[in-house]
Amino acid sequence: MTYFTGNVSYEKQGLLNPRKSTDAVPQIASLNALRFIAAVHFITGKYFKGNEHVDDTYWQTRGRVLKTWGFTQANFLFLLSGFVLAYNYAPTIQDGPGPGYSVRNFLIKRACWLYPTFLISLFLRVWDEPTTFVGRFRMWVKFGANAAGLSGYWPPSFRTYHVNDVAWTASVFLTMYVIIMPLFLKPIHKTLSRASRVWLLVFMWPWTMFIGFVVERIDILSNDGTTHWDWNNPIFYIPSFLMGLTAGSIFVERNVPEPELGLGGLCRRFGGTVLFLVMMITQSYARVDPMYHWHQVGSQSLAEIIMIYLFASGKDVILGNVFGLKPVRVVAGLATAAFIMQSAVNNFAKQIDWRYDATFFISLVAFAVILRFFVEVPYAKWSLAFFDKKLGA
């Protein structure tokens, strides 16, 4: 999803930066840590779905339910992605025609950070199964559809293509970055008052659930025993992304300095941690089965976006301080590489004659570290500096 450094350092150093001034940008390492937790939760829920046993203890049952709820975190990643992008780009929006910021520079920057790792994850599957692709034009066409980000829009692509189960990240790029953000960020930030944006955020909350409900009904009515809609389709997450953009736009226009006393002060100091624990408790006790109806994953969106807002303020004294520790920041930086590599790692772990779970997580960490420090960061620094010089940004 969105690449984010945690302290916005690359947004301030040139390198196609949106910031026009050298004013200090508050660190929001907490959001980077939340992104890492969400990514790990999603991966765990996807590949290690808990199975109920008659002799499960109370705590085993709670842990299994929490683990299985991980698939809802894709929705959280869209909320967080929209918030971070609005936080970085809303203050730079200019009046006049167009989106108000350089879409070209924005897309170049995201591609430089995200695409090399994504392409490696695709080719790992080709390298692992070369005989599947040799001489098969159809397989290369499917590979191209995944690489170009087109497969995420066709429902059965994740079940039949088997090139990369997370190829939808490229589809997300096309949907949210090329279409939705350029179209909606400026009208939201420039046209609406701050109070209107707050109300808009509340009114957008039910739309994720409503759209999912409608699509699910259509899917049931059109059941022909073959193709069904996959909830990975990025189109279904547009309302969540827009909620993130709206909340980020509200955040950058918050009152400074904010009061340190009273209910507002308590919310800023403890609200993020409290809401985080509420999410964990909810996902430990709520029944899992109804949540497989995709539209229900948006039921927590409003509470989650408020939690993101509170952590972004940098005042949380419990988890906020933990998330700001240097070891946590270093580990959190692995989120993007780990998320993109999950499919290739899963395929690799299945072929190793050892414990699947141990092989999976050891391999995931190893791949994430290698790609983070030897591909993602070096390539991004080189390529962004190249474009910065070439384009005169």
- Inside any domain, residue 312: yes
Higher pLDDT, 240 or 147: 240
Question: Using one digit for the tens of pLDDT, what is the confidence trace for 267-307?
Answer: 888 999 999 999 888 888 877 765 555 556 788 899 999 99
For the segment 247-256, the average pLDDT, to the nearest whole number, is 86
- Inside any domain, residue 4: no
Question: Does residue 73 have a pLDDT over 80?
Answer: no
- Inside any domain, residue 348: yes
* pLDDT value of position 55: 76
Question: Does residue 168 have a pLDDT over 50?
Answer: yes
- Inside any domain, residue 1: no
Question: Using one digit for the tens of pLDDT, what is the confidence trace for 140-166?
Answer: 777 777 777 776 666 555 445 455 566
- Inside any domain, residue 61: yes
Q: In the numeric block, which tokens belong to residue 172?
A: 């997300």
- Inside any domain, residue 3: no
- pTM across the whole model: 0.86
* pLDDT value of position 385: 84
* pLDDT value of position 228: 53
- Inside any domain, residue 323: yes
Domain that holds residue 52: 9-391
Number of domains in the chain: 1
